[in-house]
Amino acid sequence: MMLCVRHPLRRIFVCGCSLILGGALASSASLASTQVAPAALPQKAAIASAHPAANQAGQDILAAGGNAFDAAVAVSAALAVVEPSSSGVGGGGFYLLHRQSDGRDIFVDAREAAPAAATRDMYLDAKGAPIDELSRSGPLAAAIPGEPAAWAWLAEHYGRLPLSRSLAPAIRLARDGFAMYPRLQSGIRYNVERMQHSPEAAKRFLINGKVPEIGAVIRQPELAHTLETLARGGAEAFYRGPLAKQLVDGVRRAGGIWTQSDLSDYRVVEREPLVGHYQGARIVTSPPPSSGGVVLLDTLNILSGYDLKQASSVMRTHWLTEAMRHAYRDRAEYLGDPDFVSMPIDELTSPLYAAGQRNSIRPDRATPSSVLRPIGASLRDGPTTTHFSVLDREGNRVAATISINLWFGSGWVAPGTGVFLNDTMDDFSVAMGTPNAFALVGGSANAIAPHKRALSSMTPTFVETEQGLLIIGTPGGSTIISMVTQGVLGWLNGQSADQVVSARRIHHQYLPDRLNYEPGALSAEEIQGLKALGYDLAEWSTRGNMQVITWDYGSGLVQAGADPRGFGVGLVY
Ligand code: DON
């Protein structure tokens, strides 16, 4: 079948044969195309997560005879308690699994779904302009949560222990409390006003209306009760029982639009992960409704045409930035929920398409994004969401990125439940071409529709070579994909788990047309060289909270690295 894809520059059409793309051309861009299998099982298990208490929960479950999938439930639920700013019962996410017994890779899509009463223009005023904060704060911003369904799904289909056993550590943490720590404290400080609008949130996360001191014990009896209900009755109890009624009543009383059937209709969806190849590595990554895998694979395909090892550091940054610019641009135009829009995924991830994109990249100057498509905005800070990675001794693995979107999601806790509801509705294109909280723009592919899942950047990923394995992911909104890309490149260049998570990073997302860099990511000479190529550069604050596990097949060495920008730990057991 002949396929033609319009190039973003709109003048070029790239054509090729889809059957050939999967084979000959794909392997010309990469050295290995077969699944890589380790010679032996890992002698160690490892967990990297954003909070030590979540590692402990996972370790308890592994010690109790659970596998990586049971541990993933325990880690997720513990994070819901100790990192309520970032993910939880009121949110959703993606779980990328590898089951060692049959070698299967599985992508569990537990992304939140829009309620049935959601409409394309629900956040717009009479003039068609977005109403400030409506898609980001309060229960109208919340889509139907997927995390509780994912936990029940993992326990039932992949785990070895009952859901109630894997949820036990989180229930204890919610009831007995945990100590306030700096990252959460700064999140609360940044959101005091929103907390004050949700009495149920203020009750647990403010002390006399003030931000709790470091070390203050945070207990969440309502959340403990919600988790117990889930532990006792499974997904059924969350999506259909009295708890569901409590959620729906609370949401509707506060101006939201959820109904009982929105909750009872919710399902996790198993999807085929995307698989691509780069320099001999097999990349197993996230399909839509994540945009991450498509952008990651397109970026790597574009890069595969350059000799990065021989290039100067300025040219390396130039090629990487241009690749990201082009790949992020297509995200805006094409991608959305696969159950609602058809997308040219095979084309966007094909080496032939990338070759067309590469042809338009000049070695001597930055491509202005305005040549690709105009729009502009600034990025809003807010490193929430969370990622964790798990490897068990049997070789099962999990890369999970889970979220309630912005800090504390909608900032609103459903009365009596202790559950912060997400504000994932803001990940839709609220108005065509209007940037969301991460300055991402989108078109009709990502417009709001009943039951639709908003396009995400979350990119849990496995990378396998003949030498070893990388399990990687991070929060960071639109910057997730560029961070994962740089993590993959770093590991393929020989970086250890700690080096991957600590490396200073750059970011370009097509619009705004700016190359952002962390302090220390670029030298003065590199900045000068990039300016000479026409880049608009800006230093920005630290981003990401990457959690990585590596396994070297030759030596058997398993490493777990937690991003030093966060509070997490990587532990090998
Ligand atoms: O799914 C997404 O792409 C966003 N909801 C992720 C949000 C996130 O990573 C927040 N961190 N800055």
Q: Where do the structural domains in the chain lie, given as residue ranges?
A: 34-54+89-130+270-412+423-567
pLDDT in single tens digits along all 573 residues of the chain: 333 334 433 333 333 332 222 222 232 223 333 456 676 899 999 999 999 999 999 999 999 999 999 999 999 999 999 999 999 999 999 999 999 999 999 999 999 999 999 999 999 999 999 998 999 999 999 999 999 999 999 999 999 999 999 999 999 999 999 999 999 999 999 999 888 889 999 999 999 999 999 999 999 999 999 999 999 999 999 999 999 999 999 999 999 999 999 999 999 999 999 999 999 999 999 999 999 999 999 999 999 999 999 999 999 999 999 999 999 999 988 999 999 999 999 999 999 999 999 999 999 999 999 877 543 333 344 457 999 999 999 999 999 999 999 999 999 999 999 999 999 999 999 988 788 888 888 878 999 999 999 999 999 999 999 999 999 999 999 999 999 999 999 999 999 999 999 999 999 999 899 999 999 999 999 999 999 999 999 999 878 999 999 999 999 999 999 999 999 999 999
Token pair for 353:
């398409």
- Please report the atom of ligand 1 found closest to the CA of residue 427: 5
User: Domain 34-54+89-130+270-412+423-567 in CATH: superfamily?
Assistant: Gamma-glutamyltranspeptidase, small (S) subunit (3.60.20.40)
Is omega for the bond preceding 564 within 30 degrees of 0, making it cis?
no
Q: How far apart are CA 393 and CA 331, in angstroms?
A: 37
Is 481's C-beta closer than 6 angstroms to any atom of ligand 1?
no
* 105 DSSP assignment: E
Q: How far apart are CA 427 and CA 135, in angstroms?
A: 9
pLDDT at site 32: 34
Phi and psi at residue 217, in whole multiples of 5°?
Answer: -85, 125
16 CA to middle of ligand 1, Å?
Answer: 34
The torsion defined by the Cα of 340, 443, 420 and 246, in degrees rounded to 10, comes to -50
Active site residue 385: yes
Q: How far apart are CA 356 and CA 334, in angstroms?
A: 17
Considering only CA atoms, which residue is closest to atom 2 of ligand 1? 456
Is 220's C-beta closer than 6 angstroms to any atom of ligand 1?
no
Phi and psi at residue 96, in whole multiples of 5°?
Answer: -95, 120
Name the catalytic one among 285, 384, 385, 461.
Answer: 385
403 CA to middle of ligand 1, Å?
Answer: 7
Most ligand 1 atoms within 8 A of CB, residue of 423, 426, 438 to mutate: 438
Q: How far apart are CA 110 and CA 144, in angstroms?
A: 10
Is 476's C-beta closer than 6 angstroms to any atom of ligand 1?
yes
Of 358, 510, 524, nearest in space to 442 by CA: 510
Considering only CA atoms, which residue is closest to atom 1 of ligand 1? 456
Q: How many C-beta atoms lie closer than 10 Å to residue 103's C-beta?
A: 10
pLDDT at site 436: 85
545 CA to middle of ligand 1, Å?
Answer: 12
Most ligand 1 atoms within 8 A of CB, residue of 79, 112, 403 to mutate: 403
Is 92's C-beta closer than 6 angstroms to any atom of ligand 1?
no
Is 384's C-beta closer than 6 angstroms to any atom of ligand 1?
yes
Residue type, position 358, single letter: R
456 CA to middle of ligand 1, Å?
Answer: 7
194 CA to middle of ligand 1, Å?
Answer: 19
Helix (H, G, I), strand (E, B) or coil at 306: coil
